């Protein structure tokens, strides 16, 4: 699975965005999401334990496709790849990240919010982008981007939850949605793995209903 398009198709409908502080919880968390039907995750580099957690999951749970999120610079992209990340996600787009991920042959999902950023990413050969933060008028942006950018697909993230997931997935230019609501801190702290599996299943059910209704 070498391309971001393939990875996102596999992630469809949802890419869980994880913040892991305790590496011992990383594996049961990933297993809970997998049991719920989600086989791709984004582990953010927001804690000192993130790379170790990422490494553990990809070693112990080969069915799970693990990416690194919150990748802000070239060094983090390299570290993520060394820890076994299958792809990296950034909140925004920079030319240096475009170059380094291309050089490393590391699939990259950068965040965009404007037509100019989409054009830049498109010039770099990218056709799948994170729309971030989706909470800032994401549905309107998607509808407006659909006209000029007919070959671009988006993964809205930031402000997505079970209540608005269906509305986002109904957009023809949405490949999947990302979000942290699938692994809330309270359930993680309580090690409530069944609760996390239930949230994953709920997301999959929303997507299936959407597919049945049709885009």
Is 158 a binding residue for ligand 3PG by CB under 6 A? The answer is yes
Q: Which stretch binds ligand 3PG (CB under 6 A): 22-30, 100-108, 151-159, 187-195?
A: 151-159
Q: Which stretch binds ligand 3PG (CB under 6 A): 4-12, 112-120, 158-166, 168-176?
A: 158-166
Is 75 noted as a catalytic residue in this protein? Answer: no
Pick from 90, 113, 157, 173 the residue near ligand 3PG by CB under 6 A.
157
Q: Are 29 and 200 in contact (CB under 8 A)?
A: no
Detail the DSSP E strand segments found in the chain.
14-18, 40-44, 65-69, 87-90, 108-112, 128-131, 153-156, 177-179
Is 17 a binding residue for ligand 3PG by CB under 6 A? The answer is yes
Closer residue to ligand 3PG in complex, CB, 132/145 = 132
Q: Are 181 and 38 in contact (CB under 8 A)?
A: no
Detail the DSSP E strand segments found in 113-208.
128-131, 153-156, 177-179
Q: Exactly one of 75, 130, 167, 215 is catalytic; name it.
A: 130
DSSP 174: B
**Measured distance CA(134)–CA(181) in Å, rounded:** 14
Q: How far is the CB of 150 from ligand 3PG (least distance, A)?
A: 25
**Measured distance CA(203)–CA(207) in Å, rounded:** 6
Is 166 a binding residue for ligand 3PG by CB under 6 A? The answer is no
Q: Are 183 and 33 in contact (CB under 8 A)?
A: yes
Q: How far is the CB of 55 from ligand 3PG (least distance, A)?
A: 20
**Measured distance CA(125)–CA(159) in Å, rounded:** 27
- Tokens 């999120």, residue? 69
Closer residue to ligand 3PG in complex, CB, 23/110 = 110
Residues 88-107 that bind ligand 3PG (CB under 6 A): none
Is 16 a binding residue for ligand 3PG by CB under 6 A? The answer is no
Residues 175-204 that bind ligand 3PG (CB under 6 A): 178-181
Binding mask of the shown chain, residues 50 to 89, with x at each position contacting ligand 3PG by CB under 6 A: -------------------xx-------------------
The tokens describing 149, both together, are 């950018």
Cα→Cα distances 85→21, 55, 162, 209, Å: 18, 8, 27, 31
Is 42 noted as a catalytic residue in this protein? Answer: yes
Contacting residues toward ligand 3PG, per CB under 6 A: 17, 44, 69-70, 132, 157-160, 178-181
User: Which sequence positions are flagged as catalytic?
Assistant: 42, 130
């Amino acid at each position: 699975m070498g391309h971001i398009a393939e990875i996102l198709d596999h992630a469809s409908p949802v890419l869980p965005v994880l913040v892991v502080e305790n590496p011992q919880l990383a594996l049961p968390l990933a297993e809970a999401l997998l049991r719920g039907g989600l086989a791709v995750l984004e582990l953010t580099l927001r804690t000192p334990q993130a790379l170790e957690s990422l490494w553990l999951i990809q070693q112990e749970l080969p069915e799970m496709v693990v990416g690194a999120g919150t990748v802000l610079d070239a060094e983090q992209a390299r570290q993520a790849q060394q820890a076994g990340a299958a792809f990296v996600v950034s909140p925004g787009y920079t030319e240096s990240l475009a170059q380094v991920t291309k050089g490393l042959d590391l699939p990259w999902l950068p965040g965009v919010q404007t037509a100019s950023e989409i054009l830049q990413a498109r010039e770099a050969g990218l056709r799948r982008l994170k729309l971030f933060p989706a909470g800032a008028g994401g549905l309107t942006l998607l509808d407006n981007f659909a006209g000029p950018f007919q070959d671009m697909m988006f993964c809205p993230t930031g402000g997505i939850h079970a209540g608005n997931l269906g509305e986002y997935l109904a957009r023809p230019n949405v490949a999947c949605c990302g979000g942290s609501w699938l692994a809330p801190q309270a359930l993680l702290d309580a090690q409530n793995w069944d609760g996390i599996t239930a949230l994953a299943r709920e997301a999959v059910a929303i997507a299936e209903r959407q597919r049945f209704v049709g885009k």
